[in-house]
Structure 1
Amino acid sequence: MSAKKIIVVGSTNMDMVVKTSHIPVPGETVLGGSFFMNPGGKGANQAVAVARLGGEVSFISKVGNDIFGKQSSQLFEEEGISTRYLLADAGEPSGVALITVDAHGENSIVVASGANANLLPKDLEAALNEIAGAGILLMQLEIPMETVHFAAKYAASLGIKVILNPAPMNTLTPELLQHVHIITPNSKEAEMLSGIPVNSIADARKAATLIAGMGVKNVVITMGAQGALILEDGRFEEVPARPVEAVDTTAAGDVFNGALAVALSEGKTLAEAVQFACQAAAISVTRLGAQSSIPHRNELIVSNLPRL
């Protein structure tokens, strides 16, 4: 193991996706178009993104003892991701996500956590040496908060950089945030964290300042077509997005976070890493699905995106 190693702790789901003209409002039934199933889960998506973009990754997760869990294990192995810490839960099924994607590529998602809700601190104990040998720990919030707290505290105590993607949003305590090196909310999550509606870069600056004041050293707010805003050691930097025609934004944030971790593991500055992450996410939104949309490293070169 080396400082370049990335540990992802998080969720594994099977995504069930329906394309439709618009996302229904409460009480409305909409006749959709195509339906497909695609492996997903924010943790799994980020682990796959790290692997496809050239990072060295170990994934810690929990699935059900069912067909979806077995499929996930097989798919991770095909991606070159170790399944040593992919645990099977005897009591709960694998997590599933019901996703509606509209004609503009926007989505609405409901997740049934299943086995993900049983990924507890005790499950991480066998992987502590694996975490200790890494340079970066990447997490999201589709697993129990006690597990996020445990892993963040342990990693930070060893000087490992903790990247927290606060999605789906949950209560973040000062105790947790003091262990986070970089937090990566999108504009809505930044609003929920700061209380400031984030519709512009100026709004994002205000929100980032408040979030940093909660104890996080570095804040990266992702803003879709507007790019990303970085607050690093008290300094702001804006990174523009590459203009693309979005087909499906599912997993774009996961691709961003996985790419961010890869670039940082290669010794890039935070600004360079965010640029790389924006470019990878831009490719992903031009494709349907979660893991099916994640680009490989060579695609960034083919697309005239610089290899950092």
Structure 2
Amino acid sequence: MQRQKNIQVCGIGNGVVDVQYQISDELLNELSVPKGEMRLVNAEYHIELQEKLKNIKPNRCGGGSTGNTIDAFAKFGGQAAMLSAVADDENGKFYYSELDKLNIKYKNNLISEEPTGVCFVLITPDGERTMLTSLAASKYFSKNNLSEELIANAQWLYIEGYMLSEDKSTEAIMEAIEIATQNGTKIAISASDVFIVDTFRPKLEKMLQSADLLFCNKNEALTLAQEKQDYKTALEKIRSTYPNLNVVMTKGGEGVTILYAGKYFESPAIEAEVVDTTGAGDMFAGAFLYGMLYFQEIEKAAKLASIAASKIVAKLGARYDGNFNEIINKIK
């Protein structure tokens, strides 16, 4: 007898809090960080930076790629769960409080090695964003952070490719995939970044052997297929390598191409005044998963996701707090 599943999507990803600081150009110069740069920093630098910014009141919100996807899915009204690694500190408590607000289930297993991961977003008066990310505690995600119950009770398991950068995280991901497969939980993977596809190709290819759905952008698809320019050839190569894999490929302003159950679907982009593309792919994935489960139609899921992505690029930040029902009603 098949298990009754009470979670629609369970996500696995880096547990990160986005902390936004409005700072002067002078302070940015003092920090010796080039304006507009996006880079990873270590935990030591993270602690130093926190100390230097302690007199500025930050604006915080939950972050991380999968975290953004699950946030969107839950705000649409979906039942969700999230597995990640955070520390027993102020940011860790904040991270879990954000999940609690949306009734997102999670496993409370705190990391003691390093502080909770933070993406420091330094905003200067000209609106330019300089982003320094310290993965910190999230790098320690391991099998201890998995919940067999949450994965087995989910219709879908959603995993970000960023998790492949650490060996222990990769081991945990492979175990999560095994649990999902044994319990009839479908598996969705986000390619995350061209760097991830290129650098951790063998790990990603192993994951894709068991996956049902891949979210990627055009460059990630080309890189995965080792194809130079033609994305249609890339998709055909992916289809022949992974016959059971469905692919949702975003192409920015050119819309989205979907390969689902052996058929191609095209969906146009929704025009928007682009302010900040941070989180657009994450929002797209969350909306697509919700649309697929809610409407049971690929074209409607794609349209919902495109409208949702157009909302996120028109504002600063990776999460949307507007009216999600309004987006759904545009599809009905």
What is the TM-score with the length of structure 1 in the denominator? Answer: 0.82
The equivalent position to 1:135 in structure 2, one of 155, 158, 163, is 155
How far apart are 1:267 and its partner, in Å? Answer: 5.4
Q: Aligned pair 1:78/2:81, yes or no?
A: no
The alpha-carbon distance between structure 1 residues 191 and 266, as it changes in their structure 2 partners (threshold 3 A), is same
Q: Is the partner of 1:237 in helix, strand or coil?
A: strand
Which residue identity lines up with residue 54 of structure 1 in the other structure? G
Paired position in structure 2 for 1:23: none
Q: Aligned pair 1:306/2:331, yes or no?
A: yes
The equivalent position to 1:258 in structure 2, one of 286, 293, 316, is 286
Q: What is the RMSD of the two structures over their aligned residues, measured on CA atoms?
A: 3.2
The equivalent position to 1:235 in structure 2, one of 233, 254, 263, is 263
Q: Is the partner of 2:330 in helix, strand or coil?
A: coil
1:87-129, CA deviations, whole angstroms, 9 ceiling, x for partnerless residues? 3111121112245789xx99885532211111112321xx212
Q: Is the partner of 1:196 in helix, strand or coil?
A: coil
Q: Aligned pair 1:94/2:116, yes or no?
A: yes
Q: Is the partner of 1:137 in helix, strand or coil?
A: strand
What is the TM-score with the length of structure 2 in the denominator? Answer: 0.77
Structure having the larger proportion of residues in helix = 2
| Partners of 2:276 and 2:316 within 8 A in 1 | yes
How far apart are 1:257 and its partner, in Å? Answer: 1.1
Long gaps (5+) in structure 1: 21-26
| Partners of 1:52 and 1:296 within 8 A in 2 | no
Q: Please give the alpha-carbon distance, in whole angstroms, between the structure 1 residues aligned to 2:252 and 2:123.
A: 16
Q: State which drifts further: 148-157 or 274-283.
A: 148-157
Which residue identity lines up with residue 136 of structure 1 in the other structure? W
| Partners of 1:61 and 1:116 within 8 A in 2 | yes
1:167-190, CA deviations, whole angstroms, 9 ceiling, x for partnerless residues? 142424443211110101112322
Paired position in structure 1 for 2:300: 272
The alpha-carbon distance between structure 1 residues 228 and 3, as it changes in their structure 2 partners (threshold 3 A), is farther
Q: Is the partner of 1:219 in helix, strand or coil?
A: strand
How far apart are 1:12 and its partner, in Å? Answer: 1.9
- Percent identity between matched residues is 26
Q: Is the partner of 1:62 in helix, strand or coil?
A: coil
Q: Please give the alpha-carbon distance, in whole angstroms, between the structure 2 residues aligned to 1:114 and 1:188.
A: 28
Q: Please give the alpha-carbon distance, in whole angstroms, between the structure 2 residues aligned to 1:135 and 1:16.
A: 32
The number of residue pairs the alignment matches comes to: 291
Which residue identity lines up with residue 219 of structure 2 in the other structure? K
Q: Please give the alpha-carbon distance, in whole angstroms, between the structure 2 residues aligned to 1:157 and 1:193.
A: 27
Q: State which drifts further: 169-178 or 156-165.
A: 169-178
Paired position in structure 2 for 1:178: 209
| Partners of 2:160 and 2:189 within 8 A in 1 | yes
Long gaps (5+) in structure 2: 24-31, 38-57, 164-168
Q: Aligned pair 1:159/2:159, yes or no?
A: no
